[in-house]
A and B are shown apart, each in its own frame.
Chain A
Amino acid sequence: MTVRAGVLALQGDFREHAAALERAGAEAVLVRTPGGLEGLDALVLPGGESTTIGKLADRFGLVGPLRDAIAGGLPTLGTCAGMIFLARATTGPPQVQLGVLDVVVERNAFGRQVDSFETDVVMEGFDDPVHAVFIRAPWIAEIGPDVEVLAEVDGHPVAVRQGRILATSFHPELTGDGRIPTLLLAMAVEG
C-alpha cells in the first residue's frame, strides 16, 4: 500500500519533510486546514518556530483536530519545533501545545544559533549512528512512564517514542537519512 502522509504546513521546513516522505515511498500531502487531516495514514509536524506554528494552529482551529487524530493513534513524527508542539509542556512560559506526548521540553536547551551543531548520534533500533543536525535545539527535560528514550546527547534525551508518536530534537529531513521517515511509514503500514 502507498502510505498517505500529511505534513503540517503552517510554517517551517515542511517541503523537506514532504520530499523525504516521497523518497521513502509515501504520498505526501501538505496540511493547512482541519479537513486536510482526513484520510491520512501518517503525519509529520515539521521543524520551524514552535511559537508561530502553535499560534497559527490555534487561530485556524487545528489544535483540537490534531490532538484527536494523534491521540486516536495516527502515527506521527515531530522534529524540533514539531517535538515541542507534541509535548505536554515546556520549561519556559506557556505556549500552544498539543500535549499528546508525555514529556516536558526545554526550548533552545543547547543554546542560541552560535551553539547549534551537527554530530553523530547512536539511536535505538538503528545499526549505524544517525548524522544529526541540532539548530537552536530543544532537549527533553522530564519524561513520562510510557515514553521510551531512543537517543541522547550529553545525557539529555533527543529522540523518544511513545506508542505511535516519534519525536526528535534534530532534523532528519535536512540530512537525508531515510531511516526515520521509513520508521514512521512502517508504523502506518502496521496499522
Chain B
Amino acid sequence: MDKGTDLVKRGLAEMLKGGVIMDVIDAEQAKVAEDAGAVAVMALERVPADIRAHGGVARMADPRKVEEIVATVSIPVMAKARIGHFVEAQILESLGVDYIDESEVLTPADEEHHIDKWAFTTPFVCGARDLGEALRRIGEGAAMIRTKGEAGTGNVVEAVRHMRRITGEIARLHGLGSEQLMSAARDLGAPYSLVREVAETGTLPVVNFAAGGIATPADAALMMQLGCDGVFVGSGIFKSEDPAPRAKAIVEAVTYFEDPAMLAKVSRGLGEAMPSVEIDTLAPEERLARRGW
C-alpha cells in the first residue's frame, strides 16, 4: 500500500471538482457549510475580511478549533498554514487535516522559500496569479492550485484576472514547438519538465480552483465558465447577511454553472452580499495576492 503518492494527493482534489470549499472559523460554521452541500471546509482563525480589518500577524488556526471542526463534519477538512511555515504544516498534518493551504491570506513566514511540499503525506493547495507561479508550486509538490484572487474583498476581478492569465498562458504554450519550450520555461520561471508537460497536454497537471473575492452564485458560475474546476469561498458566505441560503445557492450555482435560468432561480432573495472593497483603493501592502512569488 503506497500512501502520499502523486496519484493519491492529486486524486482527492479530483474528487472535490464541481464543488465548493468554504472557509469556516468554528464547528458551528462547519456544520452550516456541510449542510449546504460544501465538498470540504477550510479551517482558519478568522475569515480574510476580518484578517484585513484586524491587522497584525495572521497565523494557523488554534489546533483545538481544527480538531473540533474535524470531529464535527464528515467531509474533508483543509487548513491554512503561512507561506514557508513548514512547522505549522507539520502540526496540521499531525492533526489529520486532509489538505493544507499554503496561503497568502496568512502573514508569510518566509519571503524567499515556500514549503517543500514533497516532504509531506498530506497534500497541499497553493495560490497562483499566473502559470509560472502555478508550475513553481507544483514543482515544490503542490497537488492542487487555486487562483489567488484578492481575498476578503468580495471583488472577483483579481480571480478573473488570474484565471484568464493562466488559461491564456497554457493556450500559448500548447501552440509552441518543442524547441521553444526552454525559453518559455525561462520566461515563466517554471520547471522545464512541467512546461513540457503542459505544452503537450494543454492543461495543468493538477486540479485548479477559483479563490479570492467570490461573493455571489453568479461569481462562482463565472469562474466555472472561465474553466475553473471548483470554487473556494472565503468571507463571501459567513460575512454575508444570511449565510446558510447563500452557501446553498453557491453550491447549486457551481453544479448548474452553464444554466442561466437555474442561476437566476438560485440567486433570488439571498439578502446582502458581504461588504466589498474596490481593489484600486487598497495600498500595495494591503494586497494579499502579492505575497509569495
Contacts and interface: CB of A to CB of B under 8 A. Distances in A.
Interface of A: 9-16, 32, 47-49, 51-52, 55-56, 59, 80-81, 92-93, 107-108, 112-119, 133, 135-136, 171, 174-175
B39 A136 contact: no
Contact of B74 (A10, A15, A107, A119): A107
A11 B1 contact: no
B5 to A, nearest CB: 6
A52 B37 CA distance: 5
Interface stretch (B9-17, B45-53, B171-179): B9-17
B75 interface: yes
Contact of A133 (B11, B19, B39, B121): B11
A114 B18 contact: no
Given A51-B75, A113-B98, A118 B40 contact: no
Contact of A118 (B7, B18, B38): B7
Given A114-B121, A117-B2, A32 B12 contact: no
B252 interface: yes
Interface in B19-39: 19, 34, 37-39
A12 B18 contact: yes
B74 A56 contact: no
A52 B15 contact: no
Nearest to B14: A13
B90 interface: no
B4 interface: yes
B76 A114 contact: no
B122 interface: yes
A112 B38 CA distance: 17
Given A16-B14, A49-B15, A55-B251, 20 more contacts: A10-B18, A11-B39, A13-B14, A13-B15, A14-B18, A32-B256, A47-B15, A49-B39, A49-B75, A52-B38, A52-B251, A112-B96, A113-B12, A114-B93, A116-B11, A117-B2, A135-B11, A136-B15, A171-B14, A174-B11
Given A108-B74, A135-B12, A119 B1 contact: yes
Given A80-B15, A119-B2, A133-B8, A11 B96 contact: no
A118 B2 contact: yes
Nearest to B39: A49
A45 to B, nearest CB: 13
Contacts of A112: 76, 96, 98
Given A49-B40, A51-B37, A118-B7, A56 B15 contact: no
A171 B14 CA distance: 11
Contact of A51 (B1, B2, B74, B255): B74
Interface string B96-110: 111100000000000
Contacts of B255: 9-11, 32, 56
Contacts of A10: 18, 255
B123 interface: yes
Contacts of A117: 1-3, 8
A56 B251 contact: yes
A175 B5 CA distance: 13
Nearest to A173: B14
14 contacts: A11-B17, A11-B19, A14-B18, A15-B17, A47-B14, A48-B18, A52-B38, A52-B75, A56-B252, A107-B74, A112-B76, A113-B99, A116-B8, A136-B15
A80 B2 CA distance: 18
Contacts of B17: 11-13, 15, 48
Most chain A Cβ neighbours within 10 Å, of B15, B16, B256:
B15
